[in-house]
Chain A
Amino acid sequence: MDKDATSTAYLDMELLRFTTAGSVDDGKSTLIGRLLYDSKAIFQDQLDAIELASVKKGEEYINLALLTDGLRAEREQGITIDVAYRYFNTPKRKFIIADTPGHIQYTRNMVTGASTANVAVILVDARHGVIEQTIRHAYIASLLRIPHVIVCVNKMDLVDYREDIFDSIQKRFMDFSTNLDIQDVRFIPISALNGDNVVDRSVKMNWYEGPTLMYQLENVYITNDYNLLDARFPVQYVIRPQSTEYHDYRGYAGRVASGTLKVGDKVKVLPSGFTSTIKRIDFGKETLEMVTAPQSAIISLEDDLDISRGCMVISAENGIRQSQDIDLMVCWLGEKPMIPGGKYIVKHTTSDLRCMIKEVKYKVDINTLEKDYENRTIELNDIGCISIRTTKPLFFDSYRQNRFTGSLVIIDEGTNVTVGAGMII
């Protein structure tokens, strides 16, 4: 470590969450192992443990993939089953990787990992180019509105580090992604196995003048990834200390979903629609002037209103949509197919209510991105456009505008299992 670990700069890093997507054998685990290894996030005892495991399995090299496959079944079968979270940091940033498996329940896992990511790293095998799975990965990144996409063209060592191959993959990706809603996409030629352009610049690809993957991850601008305009504060919990010192204190605990709230701001409380003014903002023993997404805080209002969990405090000037009839894109995560006309539970911000599936408008063929109006059965890992009706009005933004007030999950009433991820249109 170059810097002193207790210096202010070290205590004041940004947090970046990214997801990695790739198909079978494209070297995703090797890439993650490489990032962890080269940033010194792998410790000697972990390395010893995987070296021992690699030897036991009769492998020639230390298998970096064993670092990420945490469950017994995964190691035995040599596959990744579930999303695993990995952590590393450089002097510039702290990183959380949501490592999603390449095959089993692919969509379900990638959607889960993508839901909180700032960046999607998509791997393409230089020998195979853009394949159906690449289109799927890019589509999910766009559907979940991951703000930044980095396409790593991997295994460049197996195509003699040829520039024309990299160029044609880049062109092919750009061609189909014009139909998608990806705001920021970059391409990097790498060899995860040899470490080319991962942390250190490759000496074999002088034709590539862009940054390495690590540089890109350290420097991509993420402050704007939160919606900073529309003040939204879903109430989680009501704080009533019932002590003599705080006799009349009544505060609303929550985490700012978007925008900023300041003392003195005029606000509106939903669903009642009453307006009031922010009297004070507390966080622990500090009294704050303002709070911004994604901070947690407790706010108190000038007026005594009936507010409980599930209510939302928003800026008085800035409207939010309210309706019982909602159109959304859904990714189905349940083992049983979605039942049209069926009743489910919806969780949206801090409220729980019931809903009915009114209609499946179409299903998306995620390999061709075509809309299918004929076969509209939504099964595990399918993505479709549906209409639901809720028992009470929901207050929401479109997912495009706001990842937190525009998202919901669908829960099976019988099993309590989360069966659908919804993005409001």
Chain B
Amino acid sequence: MKRFSINHLRELESESIYVIREVAAQFENPVMLFSGGKDSIIMFHLARKAFFPAKVPFPLMHIDTGHNFQETIEFRDWLADESGAKMIVRYVQDSIDCGRAAEETGFTASRNKLQTVTLLDAIAELKFDCAMGGGRRDEEKARAKERFFSHRDEFGQWDPKNQRPELWNIFNGRKNIGEHFRVFPISNWTEMDVWQYIYLENIAIPNLYFSHEREVFNRDGILYAKTPFMKIRDTEKVEKRIIRFRTIGDATCTGALESIANSLEDIIREVAATRVTERGGRADDKRSEAAMEDRKIEGYF
């Protein structure tokens, strides 16, 4: 190895750690959003690395749609226990019960969009002035325009056409009372970088990412897991397949992938060869060409 150069993963790691420490230093009451997916898992891993030997100086928060894979919840609770981190959970069901959010109906019903209500209510209730998220710019075209430090007005809204310029490594987190920031420490990582880093650092992830047998059905070209949360049409055939998940979100909008990749090496090879983006299996993005932009403007992750 050359003496004065660091590789792309170490440079990304260093950048993300810098951003996470800026959050701890610039905000009074930050929180790190945690979904149980690989992006939030590596973000939390980076946070632990940023402050070790001290503990991570902010809590984690999971916005729980109630439509989860059991493995995700078990993993979340295990990680909180193993790390000693404080894990706050807020439930979309509570927002529905108190009339703040209305459940979608029909076959394509999902609670994905409803999470925004629960998230914004939790930010207001717990007086968080900054919420870190595991969004990456390579995921989706509206995210490609996102800043590391993204300002939100008193309604939690994003104004994509009027964002603060972000230069060098200087991050401006100044705001008025009632406003908050969303910060995306792993903005510059790609899906491949995330997998390579998990491999390099030997980071634990839920088993859902590895190949396993599961009951699935095909809807509009996407394989969904059979869960109690989704209505299945009579014409849709449920069958057992060998699959794994490439992203993990709400069970109603996360597509599975037929795969025998059973190790991190296999997954990395599979990602290198694949010809479909990881969000290609996400029903929440397929609603319209600007689906992500519209949700983000309202205050989505």
Chain A residues within CB distance 8 Å of chain B = 1, 4-6, 10-15, 43-46, 49, 53, 67-73, 75, 81-87, 89, 93-94, 96, 108-109, 111-112, 115-116, 223, 226, 228, 236-237, 239-243, 245-246, 249, 251, 253-255, 260, 282-285, 292, 294-296, 309, 333, 345, 347-350, 403-404, 407-409, 411, 416-418, 421
B230 close to chain A: CB less than 8 A: no
CA distance A73 to B161 in the complex (A): 9
Contact of B54 among A6, A45, A242 (CB under 8 A): A242
B275 close to chain A: CB less than 8 A: yes
B160 close to chain A: CB less than 8 A: yes
Contact of A85 among B9, B10, B137 (CB under 8 A): B137
Contact of B25 among A85, A108, A309 (CB under 8 A): A309
Tell me how far the C-beta of B53 lies from the nearest C-beta in chain A, rounded to whole angstroms: 5
Q: How many contacts A-B (CB < 8 Å)?
A: 195
CA distance A111 to B265 in the complex (A): 40
Q: Across the interface, which residues of A come within 8 angstroms of B141, CB to CB? A: 67-70, 84
Known: A43-B275, A237-B25, A284-B52. A87 touches B6 (CB 8 A): no
Is A253 within 8 A of B51, CB to CB? yes
B98 close to chain A: CB less than 8 A: no
Is A43 within 8 A of B274, CB to CB? yes
| Among listed B13-21, B88-96, B212-220, B231-239, interface-contacting one | B13-21
Tell me how far the C-beta of B22 lies from the nearest C-beta in chain A, rounded to whole angstroms: 7
B145 close to chain A: CB less than 8 A: yes
Is B4 within 8 A of A292, CB to CB? yes
B105 close to chain A: CB less than 8 A: no
Is A14 within 8 A of B145, CB to CB? no
Is B174 within 8 A of A416, CB to CB? yes
Is A82 within 8 A of B161, CB to CB? yes
Contact of B289 among A5, A6, A49, A285 (CB under 8 A): A49
Tell me how far the C-beta of B214 lies from the nearest C-beta in chain A, rounded to whole angstroms: 23
Is B6 within 8 A of A71, CB to CB? no
A to B CB contacts below 8 Å, 14 in the list: A70-B140, A71-B161, A72-B289, A73-B161, A84-B141, A85-B187, A86-B138, A87-B137, A89-B190, A255-B18, A282-B52, A282-B53, A285-B52, A295-B14
Known: A71-B161, A82-B145, A86-B144. A411 touches B174 (CB 8 A): yes
Q: Across the interface, which residues of A come within 8 angstroms of B280, CB to CB? A: 43, 45
Known: A43-B280, A85-B188, A295-B10. A116 touches B18 (CB 8 A): no
Contact of B144 among A81, A85, A239, A285 (CB under 8 A): A85
Chain B residues within CB distance 8 Å of chain A = 1-2, 4-15, 17-18, 21-22, 24-25, 48-55, 137-138, 140-145, 160-161, 163-170, 172, 174-176, 187-188, 190, 192-193, 196, 199-200, 264-265, 268-269, 271-277, 280, 289-290, 293
Known: A43-B275, A249-B53, A283-B49. A70 touches B167 (CB 8 A): no
Contact of A5 among B164, B166, B175, B271 (CB under 8 A): B271
CA distance A249 to B175 in the complex (A): 33
Known: A245-B53, A294-B14, A295-B10. 10 other contacts (CB 8 A): A5-B271, A6-B268, A12-B7, A53-B289, A67-B141, A70-B145, A71-B160, A109-B165, A236-B18, A407-B168
Is A417 within 8 A of B169, CB to CB? no
CA distance A1 to B271 in the complex (A): 11
Is A6 within 8 A of B269, CB to CB? yes
Contact of B8 among A94, A411, A421 (CB under 8 A): A94
Tell me how far the C-beta of A236 lies from the nearest C-beta in chain B, rounded to whole angstroms: 5
Q: Across the interface, which residues of B come within 8 angstroms of A116, CB to CB? A: 167-169
Is B11 within 8 A of A294, CB to CB? yes
Is B18 within 8 A of A296, CB to CB? yes
Contact of A15 among B12, B137, B164, B165 (CB under 8 A): B12
Q: Across the interface, which residues of A come within 8 angstroms of B25, CB to CB? A: 236-237, 309, 350
Q: Across the interface, which residues of A come within 8 angstroms of B52, CB to CB? A: 282, 284-285
